[in-house]
């Protein structure tokens, strides 16, 4: 893939902008997660704004400083800050401190496992704590760029410079190292546990087929990939970084190798965030110009959720049932849409 052809813009587009419940948060949004029917908008600094579908907003202070990372398993939300704290927030909005870094280092990354285990990183050190409170640490050669739990077993992928380390915190076995030159900043397993993908510092993605560690190069992006999301069933991986959504096909045993990605929802602005629907073959797409679209993966059909106003969309999230979509922007605007 050498370049992206944006194709022809559709003459008209179905709009459901009037069905969005506006939420003027007034503070930049880093990410959004649903706990039950309430949307938890993680600010880039200091607090989490909790919003109901009725437009009621409450705010919970969480960090003295920047909020650098957040993850949710649907039951709780965990955030890490530049104050060295790792904070859990439950569905009621109650907060508790999970950990405080001894050297007050930045908590750069966090990941949650289905069994309640939490992983986080500060500098080169990855930490894992199980629900019983037992903590283990693992040091990688350079700063951790991203963390992800495998969908099966307790296995943690730690992205760093020149590759990804796969660590089994409960096993004595040596961690596995998947090498690829460059800086790996985010990491994800495919839902079927067959592939591992990273977003790199350069404008490219890299992947490995875990059965044989075969490399998959996914390049051609004009900008860095900052957002990636698996479509339902792991059939495709939707990514930001271009002025269309780049969706890599993962239906065959070779993943996207030798195949062209789908290029959907072309716009005159860079795709900033993507979030695939949890049940259906649609995705929400946020752009650098503030536009939010809903896009059908099959044919690229688009529905306008938010017009291109203000700053870039910085957060998108679905509730578990896929009945609610929330978005947030860099200039503190947000909204919830009931499907």
Partner 1 sequence: MAEASQKIPVTVLTGYLGAGKTTLLNRILSENHGKKYAVIVNEFGEIGIDNDLIIGADEEVFEMNNGCVCCTVRGDLVRIMDGLMKRKGKFDAIIVETTGLADPAPVAQTFFVDEDVQKNARLDAVVTVADAKWLSDRLKDAPEAKNQIAFADVIVLNKTDLVSKPELAEVEARIRGINPYAKLHRTERCQVGITDVLERGAFDLDRILEIEPDFLEAGDGHDHDHDHHHDHHHHDHGHGHGLKHYHDEDMQSLSLRSEKPLDPTKFMPWLQNLVATEGQKILRSKGILAFTGDDDRYVFQGVHMMLEGDHQRKWKDGEKRESRVVFIGRELPEQAIRDGFEQCITT
Residues in CB range of 129: below 8 A, 6 or more apart: 98, 99, 117, 118, 119, 135, 136
Give the number of residues in contact with partner 1, rule: CB under 8 A: 30
**38/270 with CB nearer partner 1:** 270
Question: Applying CB under 8 A, which part among 17-25, 63-71, 112-120, 296-304 lies near partner 1?
Answer: 63-71
Measured CA angle at 44 (ends 164, 338), to 5 deg = 95
**103/132 with CB nearer partner 1:** 103
DSSP three-state, residue 17? helix
DSSP three-state, residue 184? strand
Nearest to 188 by CA among 145, 149, 219, 215: 149
**47/130 with CB nearer partner 1:** 47
Nearest to 284 by CA among 308, 302, 266, 309: 302
> Applying CB under 8 A, which of residues 10, 24, 65, 114 lies at the interface with partner 1?
65
> Applying CB under 8 A, which of residues 162, 170, 193, 323 lies at the interface with partner 1?
162
x/- string (CB under 8 A) for partner 1, residues 88-117?
---------------x-xx-x---------
Q: Are the C-beta atoms of residues 198 and 185 closer than 8 Å to each other? A: yes
> Applying CB under 8 A, which of residues 201, 215, 279, 321 lies at the interface with partner 1?
201
Q: How far apart are CA 187 and CA 149, in angstroms?
A: 9
> Applying CB under 8 A, which of residues 67, 126, 238, 292 lies at the interface with partner 1?
67
**282/334 with CB nearer partner 1:** 334
**26/116 with CB nearer partner 1:** 26
**105/296 with CB nearer partner 1:** 105
242 scored as a contact of partner 1 (CB under 8 A): no
Residues between 118 and 157 that touch partner 1 (CB under 8 A): 123-124, 142-143, 145
Q: How far apart are CA 75 and CA 281, in angstroms?
A: 24
**65/116 with CB nearer partner 1:** 65
**60/170 with CB nearer partner 1:** 60
Two structure tokens written together for 240: 């930001």
> Applying CB under 8 A, which of residues 1, 17, 44, 192 lies at the interface with partner 1?
44
Q: How far apart are CA 267 and CA 269, in angstroms?
A: 5
DSSP three-state, residue 82? coil
> Applying CB under 8 A, which of residues 175, 182, 220, 278 lies at the interface with partner 1?
182
DSSP for 190-235, written as a single string: -TTSSEEEEEESSSEEEEEETTTTEEEEEE--SS----EEEPGGGS
DSSP state of 19: G
DSSP state of 18: G
**43/234 with CB nearer partner 1:** 43
> Applying CB under 8 A, which of residues 30, 169, 290, 317 lies at the interface with partner 1?
30
> Applying CB under 8 A, which of residues 74, 151, 220, 223 lies at the interface with partner 1?
223
Q: How far apart are CA 132 and CA 288, in angstroms?
A: 42
Nearest to 37 by CA among 72, 89, 69, 74: 74
x/- string (CB under 8 A) for partner 1, residues 294-313?
--------------------
243 scored as a contact of partner 1 (CB under 8 A): no
| Residue numbers at the binding site for partner 1 (CB under 8 A) | 28, 30, 44-45, 65-68, 82, 103, 105-106, 108, 123-124, 142-143, 145, 161-162, 181-183, 185, 200-202, 204, 223-224
């Amino acid at each position: 893939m050498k370049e992206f052809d944006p194709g022809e813009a559709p003459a008209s587009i179905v709009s459901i902008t009037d069905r969005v419940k506006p939420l003027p948060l007034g503070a930049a949004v880093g990410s959004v997660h649903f706990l039950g029917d309430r949307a938890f908008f993680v600010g880039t600094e200091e607090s989490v704004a909790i919003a109901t579908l009725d437009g009621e907003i409450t705010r919970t202070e969480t960090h003295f400083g920047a909020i650098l990372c957040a993850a949710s398993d649907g039951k709780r939300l965990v955030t890490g800050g530049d104050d060295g704290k790792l904070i859990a927030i439950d569905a009621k909005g109650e907060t508790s401190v999970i950990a405080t870094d001894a050297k007050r280092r930045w908590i750069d990354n966090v990941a949650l496992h289905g069994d309640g285990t939490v992983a986080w990183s500060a500098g080169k050190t990855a930490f894992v704590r199980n629900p019983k409170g037992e903590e283990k640490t693992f040091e990688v050669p350079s700063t951790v760029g991203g963390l992800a739990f495998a969908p099966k077993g307790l296995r943690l992928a730690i992205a760093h410079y020149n590759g990804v380390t796969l660590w089994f915190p409960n096993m004595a076995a040596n961690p596995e190292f998947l090498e690829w030159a460059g800086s790996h900043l985010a990491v994800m397993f495919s839902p079927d546990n067959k592939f591992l993908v990273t977003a790199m510092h350069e404008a490219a993605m890299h992947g490995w087929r875990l059965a044989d560690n075969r490399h998959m190069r996914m390049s051609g992006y004009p900008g860095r990939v900052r957002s990636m999301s698996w479509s339902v069933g792991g059939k495709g991986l939707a990514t930001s970084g271009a002025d269309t959504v780049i969706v890599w096909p993962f239906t065959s045993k070779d993943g996207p190798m030798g195949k062209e990605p789908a290029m959907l929802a072309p716009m005159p602005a860079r795709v900033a965030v993507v979030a695939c629907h949890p049940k259906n073959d649609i995705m929400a797409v946020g752009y650098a110009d503030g536009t939010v679209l809903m896009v059908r993966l099959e044919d690229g059909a688009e529905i306008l959720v938010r017009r291109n106003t203000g700053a870039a969309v910085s957060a998108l999230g679905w509730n578990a049932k896929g009945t609610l979509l929330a978005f947030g922007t860099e200039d503190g605007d947000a909204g919830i849409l009931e499907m």
